[in-house]
Structure 1
Amino acid sequence: MHLSLQALLRLLLPLRCLVCGDPGHDDLDLCRACYADLPWPGRSCLRCALPLPDTALVVCGSCREEAPPQAATHASLLYLPPVDQLLVRYKFHQDLAAGRLLVQLMQRAAPPWSCLPLVPVPLHRRRLRQRGYNQAAELCRLLPMPVWHGLYRRRHTAPQSERTAEQRRENLFDAFDVRGPVPTRLTVVDDVMTTGSTVMEIAETLRGAGAGEVRVWVCARVP
């Protein structure tokens, strides 16, 4: 009997939970217990993916007051344990196995419009040299959708962590630009969404360059 390549790989490299080290399951490097602990989002705002306590709402109060430039935002997971640790390992420690697992989870909780061309949030070349790779671009590379690479970061910006929402918006103002014609409909992809300042600035840029509709898909949303 001939083993398939996938079966042979699993025989030589058995699945192992990246969180606790127990055997993985369901073709994931995640055990049953850790999979059961994953923070899947419940009802959330259609425009910014903020978790909503009121099940009758579809848009949060902030987005009702001032609609963001993106038509919709989808978060596959919430930025809570164990997803937060996996994202830190992937983003800051070049743990590509964690990245592959996160992409698998994103695909299991993909938005209905995930067939649109993907646009990774770009890094400035200085940050790219420091980190070694663009985590959003790597997510897009592993997802089975077309990727548009016309968006770039025109200037280096200071890290967003520890900044208020207003400071984040000021920090990113006019930070992005495009090369070439822009597709009519696009999905911006990022690893984590906190206040949404980055994806909103990108959506403004893409719409200003001719995109008719911009949507956002993030691996995890900070609740």
Structure 2
Amino acid sequence: MMEPPPIKRAHVSLLYQSSIKELMHDFKFNASPRAGMLLVELMLVNKPDLLGSALLPVPMHHQRARERGFNQAYWLAEQLARRTGLELLNAECHKLVASQRTLNRQERAANLRGAFSIKGPLPAHITLIDDVVTTGATTNALARVAQKAGAMHVDIWAVARTPLGNS
């Protein structure tokens, strides 16, 4: 029997295509704060009604963060926490996982097994922050760890999702 997904609600109002994809690429791979602030503004225009009491960005392995220069999910969460007044939580990624971009749903889940840890206890209701949701494997893996650390209700708030059929 399959266990239910750990995510209660996902709030993602943009599609990862055309100008949003270009903006995201500029933010992630060129570390453009201008692009990042525009993405934050777009997220806030259509903010979820229920955010819980804390934001938890998807962590990045320290080696990958060094290569890129920053963790885009943490950067977004930091800006959103300032604007919403919510607590900013931290998780760690211990496993240098292969890039998720080329993997299918099952490979993504296997790739992330044992990757994350969180020091608890966490508030009962938290919201994960990510840039792009494709299959949900990353946020599901993090949500399971968050539940083990005490979160009872875990939601996602992301900038964009890949169009159906592109995962």
Tell me the TM-score normalized by structure 1: 0.68
Q: Is 1:96 the counterpart of 2:36 in the alignment?
A: no
Q: 1:70: which partner in 2?
A: 7
Within the alignment, does 1:181 sit opposite 2:121 as a pair?
A: yes
Structure 1 residue 203 and structure 2 residue 143: aligned? yes
Runs of 4+ off more than 3 Å: none
Aligned partner (choices 131, 134, 155) of residue 68 of structure 2: 131
Counterpart secondary structure, 2:18: coil
TM-score by length of 2: 0.90
1:165 aligns with 2:105: yes
Deviation at 1:203, TM superposition (A): 0.6
The corresponding residue for 1:194 is 134
Q: Deviations over 1:176-216 (max 9, x none)?
A: 01124211110000000001100000111111121111000
Cα distance between partner residues in 2 of 1:178 and 1:151: 5
Paired position in structure 2 for 1:109: 46
Q: Which has the higher contact order (CA 8 A, sep 6+)?
A: 2
User: What is the alpha-carbon root mean square deviation over aligned residues?
Assistant: 1.4
Judging by fraction of residues, say which structure has more helix.
2
3-state DSSP of counterpart to 1:182: coil
User: May I ask how many residue pairs the two structures share in their alignment?
Assistant: 159
Q: Which runs of 5+ in 1 are unaligned?
A: 1-64
Residue deviations 1:12-53 (CA, integer Å, cap 9, x gap): xxxxxxxxxxxxxxxxxxxxxxxxxxxxxxxxxxxxxxxxxx
Q: Report if the CA contact (8 A) 1:76-1:110 is conserved.
A: no
Residues 1:185 and 1:193: Cα distance change in structure 2 (over 3 Å) = same
Structure (1 or 2) with the greater strand fraction:
2
Unaligned stretches of 5+ residues in structure 2:
none
How far the C-alpha of 1:155 sits from its partner, in A, is 1.8
Secondary structure, aligned partner of 1:161: helix
The secondary structure found in structure 2 opposite 1:137 is helix
Q: Report the CA distance between 1:66 and its aligned residue.
A: 6.1
Is 1:219 the counterpart of 2:159 in the alignment? yes
